[in-house]
Amino acid sequence: MEKQLHVELMKYTPVPIEIIATAARLCYSASDIHQLLENMSGEKGEKLLVKLMEMGHESPLEHAVFTFGIEGISRACTHQLVRHRIASYSQQSQRYVEEKEFDYIIPPSIAGDKELKQKYITTMEELGNLYKDMGSKIPIEDARYILPNGCETKIIVTMNARSLKNFFMRRVCLRAQWEIRRMAIEMLRLCKAASPLLFKNMGAPCTSTKICPEGAMSCGKWKAIPGAKIMYKGEILSKEEIEDKDK
């Protein structure tokens, strides 16, 4: 059965800005930690956070940690996800959990073509039946070798805000693969709901650092962002400068 993406923000460091601002302030202050924490609990902490983000002083972001429950994603997607090493993962195992329901993800390019979609669904169902069949003769951990990349999986992910910043830069970008991008956008939406200021400028590089690193591969979105530039063959160019080059 087709499965839709579902992301939940399960747990996170309470009042994350407070601890980030306190940690950042500690580096430059002789005060007691307790005193700093009180001081940084309201607007003052928020002001410091804005400054930190502008200066690119990222290490204090690590003290705020977020845990997501993610369902309705394919194994193709999690194989990319778990390459992010500054994170913790617990994933449903295909060695131990039998795929009884056999849920799967349908890529939009397939969903949009009636004929292809029908072929895709039929194939998934046939593979599901073959899997069950094989599973009666051999261990499910071997039967799964015929299961497709599109097969649904579930995963719990914990990342700190610094690692999330990097994750969003790589995966919210239009150049990322559509499924991990859709998931990253949903994670970012939940983060922004939990702490709007902390995640305000997080996202693709064009919004996050105002530099598109994609060069000739760029989608061009950066041109619409005030002050944004592009990295092109080792140079940082403005909209005007790159248009000059193109002439």
By CB under 8 A, the residues from 11 to 70 that bind its own copies are: 11, 13-15, 19, 22-24, 26-30, 32-34, 37, 53-56, 59-60, 62-63, 65, 67, 69-70
* Residue 1 binds its own copies, judged by CB under 8 A: no
Nearest to 243 by CA among 226, 225, 220, 227: 220
* Using rule CB under 8 A, residue 3 touches its own copies: no
- Alpha-carbon span 187 to 238, nearest angstrom: 31
Of the candidate spans 39-47, 100-108, 181-189, 190-198, the one that interacts with its own copies by CB under 8 A turns out to be 100-108
Kindly state the number of chain residues that form the binding site for its own copies, as judged by CB under 8 A. 101
Under the binding rule (CB under 8 A), the answer on residue 92 touching its own copies is yes
Q: 3-state DSSP call for residue 226?
A: coil
Distance CA 246, CA 239 (A): 11
Among 43, 114, 137, 246, contact with its own copies (rule: CB under 8 A): 137
247 touching its own copies, by CB under 8 A: no
Spacing of C-alpha 172 from chain mean position: 7
Closer to its own copies by Cβ: residue 43 or 54: 54
**Closest to 189 measured CA to CA, from 62, 7, 39, 3:** 7
Q: Residue from 1, 82, 193, 219 that binds its own copies (CB under 8 A)?
A: 82
How far is 170 from 193, CA to CA, in rounded Å?
A: 21
The amino acid sitting at 157 is V
Q: Which residues are catalytic?
A: 171
